[in-house]
Chains A and B, each alone.
Chain A
Amino acid sequence: MSTEKLALTTNSGARKPASAGGAHNSLAAELTRLLGPRKVLSNLSERLNYRYDAIQFGATPLAVVLPESTGDVVAAVRAARAAGVPIVGRGAASGLSGGAAPTEPGLVISFTRMTRLTIHPERREAQAQAGVITLAVSDAARPHGLIYPPDPASFRTSTIGGNLAENAGGPMCFKYGVTGDYVRALSFVDADGEEHHVTRDAFDLAGLLIGSEGTLGLITEATLRLIPPATHTRTLMAHFPEVGACAEAVSAAIAAGAVPSKLEFMDRACTNAVEDYLNLGLPRDAEAVLLVDTDGDDLNTVQDELQLVADACERAGGTVRRAATDAEGAALWRARRSVSPALGRIRPQRMNEDIVVPRSALPDVVREIRALGDASPFRLVQFGHIGDGNLHPNILFDPRREDTHAVHDLAHQIALVAIRHGGVLSGEHGIGSMKRDFMTDAVDPGTLKALWNVKRALDPHLALNPGKILPAEGVNG
């Protein structure tokens, strides 16, 4: 049994050191000497709060640093290296793959105080430190007539550093792309405490850092591309008596030439969880609900595109409702953004999958996953950015009453469905520690070896976020 399986429960007791760390540990003492007490956390009460993200509890760190500048990051990395302990970067800890949860005691560097943000309207760029909250970029850009399109559902909480590290996506990514598509340059601190500034040319080292989940370097700052928003947006909701029909409608609409700006789906359990929370009047009986935005500068085109989608939905047996007002559209999108946390009302724990499959395979995949869920003792729900084929099947469970190994097995089955249909393990949440075991199913041994070589080249001491993404060498490879 792997430690990852054990760590599926949030019961932290087993991994909590009673005494390690504390004011007396030498790493904390050295960091405090270097950075001053304000930026270093060493009490147990403080360190206990830096062992989790939104999905998992991990090992309690020995010390936590809250840097206020790149210089602080450099000093902290060097001190941790000298002490020979692992280093985990952390943003808002809204991650859903255990990325920011340490797998062993070490140093956590939390970027929440590095929040400098400058907008350069003439270059259509934002210069953001790692701890800037995603929403803050859009808010600061808006007065200049610009927007920052990557919009994970967690955009009010998550940080730019975390978004880059996970290559976060969102409802807008079907038309506008994911975080990585908006990064022009970034600065990072490597495992030896050296600072680097990289752009997208030559070896595209920036591209390598994006989506590397803190395993190759610590991102300190990024130059982000901004765009002017579309003049017109139209929203529709369609509901279907069966999940596969919803996926068929999506494939048909895209085949017909529609490029919606957002295309999101949620199944019946999600709709009901959101209704319980927000009471928006969503169709509780529908097996699947599809939310669609089309946008652009020419209203006729925007409406024509929406019509293409509406027709495809109706042909697939769906019922279509157009949002009459902007407020109605906004309420529908609020529903979608609330799915994930609203599920917490049903069961205290969930295993969140993040598969991507070719669009043509969508109807089969959602049906197969539905069948897996129905045959299991667990509540399984599905939602996701269906336009990209990015699905989030979630297994809801209560670790006190239900078997966490069976949960893990079901998650594995789901991952295998995706792989069988030519898909991948993660669209946006990352592999982290949650899906690390499945990497050997998804990636051939030669490729895994290449990934390890990259890791060794940038992090020769294997100090950065160990236990994430790459399965231990020699496992099936």
Chain B
Amino acid sequence: MNNDIPVQTLGGQGEVMAHAVDACVHCGFCLPACPTYALLGDEMDSPRGRIVLMKEVLEGGLPLLDAAPHLDRCLGCQACVTACPSGVPYGELITAFRGWSEPQRQRSPLDRAKRAAILKILPAPKVFSVAARLGQFAKPLAPALPAALRSPLDLLPESVPAMQPSAAFTPARGVRRGRVAFLVGCAQQALTPNFNAATLRVLSRNGIEVVIPDGQGCCGAAALHTGARDEALKLVRANLNAFNPDDFDAILSNAAGCGAGLKEYPMVLHGEPDEARAQAFAAKVMDISEYLGGLLADGTLEPTLPASRPLKVAYHDACHLAHAQGVRAQPRDLLRAIPGVTVLEIPEGDLCCGSAGTYNLEQPELATQLGARKAKNILSTQPDLIASGNIGCHTQIQSHVRRQGDRAPVMHTIEILDLAYRGEL
């Protein structure tokens, strides 16, 4: 799309944005993939429409305030990236745009306080754990609360377990075949510590030793995608210092959102001195299912014990795994490798579940509609188990599946593998 984005004055992030706008031929192939377009049926809430809006704002032809409601409704799910044949890096555009525009936004004091709180609490697992448990007590009060306060409570799972810090080093069981670094994540540590415990057990079982480097922190994705670029940069740099890519075969994450965030580091630092470091780092980043899927493909994955009975597993593609990282086959292959497991495909599988980071908090209405639609689609397959590879999807799907009266367990792919290894599936 032809444009007059003033790249000279916008710097590295301006180049990122102008490149994406250039690449769009406004063919509209992305429209049917977009969840907000599916719900609202208007062009401003479609990927193509948002690209035009961002272009107009960057060119100075449209006030940011006018475009903001439509840009805010974007889930960042990147389904449009999968659908786009012209290779438009929409994810980079919206992320860079949010970073550029946030400092110019005028937000209400309540809004600002809420955002600040989220950004403070999310990356600090200990604080999050306490907050989550406080929230747990408040949950019975939820129906009486105003929507702005109710929505964060909806995000919380049924029970919030105690924090379990992970060991800094987990040795390989048997012959050592590899050495990886692991990003423990933030919110997930507090909400679902078993994801990490299962990850360490499964890797160790496969002869992989795992290091949890000191000094690592939140991946920065939440800050980045809400436009808090300065905070994000601090987190990015801390992780670049904590992980030396030369020391490991891979840098693993078991949260799709975090993995996608880590892979974005080169874009975040485009045109800055650390860009090369970020590239070396990102080249080593893999999702846990991508890494184990590699072992499976090589024929070197340790076989699991069979499931105790035939199990139908509905696999939900987390947007940040399927669309942002292109990881679709590996989690399914891993599940299918467990004797007795059948993997079910979910209707409208490419449609976001509505969780999308802090979306539940910012756009509770759309998030709820999408969550309900996802749960309905999942339950239509009549699964024994529901699997996904992302903490956000996990809580969202769990909450909506329960609301629709179904008790099917919702688990991380790695938890299912772990159970199978232990003969408990």
Let me know if B42 and A112 touch, CB within 8 A.
yes
Query: In whole angstroms, what is the CA distance A399 to B1 when docked?
Result: 10
- B57-73 CB contact bits vs A (8 Å, 1 = yes)? 00101100011011000
Tell me the complex Cα distance, A333–B400, Å.
Answer: 38
List residues 89-125 of chain A with CB under 8 A from any CB of chain B: 92-94, 110, 112-113, 115
Residues of B within 8 A of A50 (CB): 43
With CB as the reference atom, state the residue of chain A lying closest to B43. A49
Nearest residue, chain A, Cβ from B42: A66
**CB-CB contacts below 8 Å: A336-377 with B:** 338, 340-345, 348-350
A51 — nearest CB in chain B belongs to which residue? B52
Which A residue's beta carbon lies closest to that of B52? A49
- CB within 8 A of A45: which of B22, B25, B44? B44
Residue from B1, B28, B59, B85 within 8 A of A338 (CB atoms): B85
Q: Which residue from chain A places its CB closest to the CB of B84 in the assembled complex? A: A341
Query: Are B86's CB and A344's CB within 8 A?
Result: yes
Q: How far is the CA of A9 from the CA of B32 in the complex (A)?
A: 26
Question: Are A133 and B2 interface neighbours, CB within 8 A?
Answer: no
CB distance from B377 to the nearest CB of A (A): 15
> Which residues of A sit under 8 angstroms from B26, Cβ to Cβ?
10, 52-54, 93
Partner of B1, one of A10, A13, A341: A10
Task: Tell me, yes or no, whether B24 is within 8 Å of chain A by CB.
Answer: yes
* B23 & A348 in contact (Cβ 8 Å cutoff): yes
Q: A13-B59, A45-B67, A344-B27 are in contact. Are A110 and B43 (CB under 8 A)?
A: yes
What CA separation (Å) do A112 and B42 show in the bound complex?
A: 7
B28 touches A11 (CB 8 A): no
Q: Is B333 an interface residue (CB 8 A)?
A: no
Choice from B41, B61, B66 contacting A113 with Cβ under 8 Å: B41
Contact across chains for B32 and A157 when beta carbons are under 8 A apart: yes
A residues 177-219 touching B (CB-CB < 8 Å): none
A93 to B85, CA, bound (A): 17
* Contact of A382 with B by CB under 8 A: no
**A33 touches B (CB below 8 Å):** no
Pairwise interchain contact B49-A9, C-beta atoms closer than 8 A: no
Beta-carbon nearest neighbor of A135 in chain B: B32
Instruction: Flag if B32 contacts A133 (CB, 8 Å).
Output: yes
Known: A341-B85, A344-B23, A349-B2. A52 touches B52 (CB 8 A): yes
Find out whether the CB atom of A341 lies under 8 angstroms from the CB atom of B25.
yes
B61 touches A16 (CB 8 A): yes
State the Cβ distance, A153 to closest chain B Cβ, in Å: 9
Residues 130-158 of A contacting B (Cβ, < 8 Å): 131, 133, 135, 154, 156-157
Q: Once the chains bind, are B23 and A93 in contact (CB under 8 Å)?
A: no
> Which residues of A have CB within 8 Å of B230?
none
Asked whether any CB of chain A lies closer than 8 Å to the CB of B169, the reply is no
A43 within 8 A of B: yes
Residue of B56, B69, B86 with most partner-chain A CB within 10 A:
B86
Q: Does B31 contact A (CB under 8 A)?
A: yes
* A49:B49 contact, CB within 8 angstroms: yes
B27 in contact with A54 (CB, 8 Å): yes
Judged by a CB distance under 8 angstroms, whether A44 is at the interface is: yes
B87 within 8 A of A: yes
**B53 contacts the other chain (CB 8 A):** yes
Are A341 and B29 closer than 8 Å at their CB atoms?
Answer: yes
Instruction: Flag B6-30 by CB within 8 Å of A: 1 or 0 each.
Output: 0000000000000000111111110
| B4 close to A (CB within 8 Å) | yes
State A154–B18 Cα separation when bound (angstroms).
26
> Whole-angstrom distance from the CB of A238 to the nearest CB of chain B?
24
Whether A93 and B29, one on each chain, are in contact in the complex, defined by CB atoms closer than 8 angstroms, is no
Q: How far is A50 from B52 in the complex, measured between Cα atoms in Å?
A: 10
Most buried by B among A131, A154, A338, A345: A345
Which one of B1, B2, B3, B61 has the greatest number of beta carbons of chain A within 10 Å? B2
List the A side residues contacting B43 at CB < 8 Å.
Answer: 49-50, 93, 110, 112
Report the minimal beta-carbon distance from A158 to chain B, rounded to whole angstroms: 8
- Give every chain A residue within 8 A of B4 (Cβ-Cβ): 11, 13
A93 touches B86 (CB 8 A): no
Q: Are A342 and B86 in contact (CB under 8 A)?
A: yes
Q: Flag if A49 contacts B25 (CB, 8 Å).
A: no
The answer to whether A302 has its CB under 8 Å from any CB of chain B is no
Encode contact with B along A77-90: 1 for CB under 8 Å, 0 otherwise.
00000000000000
Are B28 and A54 in contact, CB atoms less than 8 angstroms apart? yes
Chain B minimum-CB-distance residue to A10? B2
A172 within 8 A of B: no
Minimum C-beta distance from A398 to chain B (A): 8
Give A5-19 interface residues, CB cut-off 8 Å to B.
9-13, 16
* Complex CA–CA separation, A92 to B28 (angstroms): 7
Which of chain B's residues has its CB closest to A56's CB?
B26
Among residues of B, the one whose C-beta sits closest to the C-beta of A55 is B26
One of A46, A48, A133, A343 near B42 (C-beta < 8 A): A46
- A45 neighbours in B (Cβ, 8 Å): 44, 53, 56, 62, 66-67, 69-70
In Å, the complex CA distance between A9 and B27 comes to 15
B56 cross-chain contacts in A, Cβ below 8 A: 12, 45, 48
Complex Cα spacing A218 to B56, Å: 30
Q: Mark A369-403, 1 if CB is under 8 A from B, else 0.
A: 00000000000000000000000000000011000
Shortest beta-carbon distance from A278 to chain B in Å: 8
Q: A10-B2, A13-B4, A399-B2 are in contact. Are A48 and B27 (CB under 8 A)?
A: no
In the assembled complex, the Cα of A148 lies from the Cα of B212 at a distance in Å of: 56
* In contact, A49 and B66 (Cβ under 8 angstroms): no
Residues of A within 8 A of B25 (CB): 54, 341, 343-344, 348-350
Asked whether A341 lies within 8 Å of B27 as measured between CB atoms, the reply is yes
A342 close to B52 (CB less than 8 A) = no
Contacts A10-B2, A48-B53: A277 and B87 contacting too (C-beta < 8 A)? yes
**Known A44-B62, A156-B29, A344-B25; further 6 A-B contacts with Cβ < 8 A:** A11-B4, A48-B56, A54-B26, A92-B28, A338-B85, A350-B25
Chain A interface residues (CB < 8 Å from chain B): 9-13, 16, 41, 43-46, 48-50, 52-54, 66, 92-94, 110, 112-113, 115, 131, 133, 135, 154, 156-157, 277, 338, 340-345, 348-350, 399-400
Please, could you name 7 A-B residue pairs with CB atoms under 8 Å apart, sorted by A?
A41-B44, A48-B56, A92-B31, A112-B43, A342-B86, A345-B23, A345-B87
What 8 A-B pairs are tightest by C-beta distance, nearest first? A344-B25, A344-B86, A341-B85, A45-B66, A49-B43, A10-B2, A49-B49, A94-B28
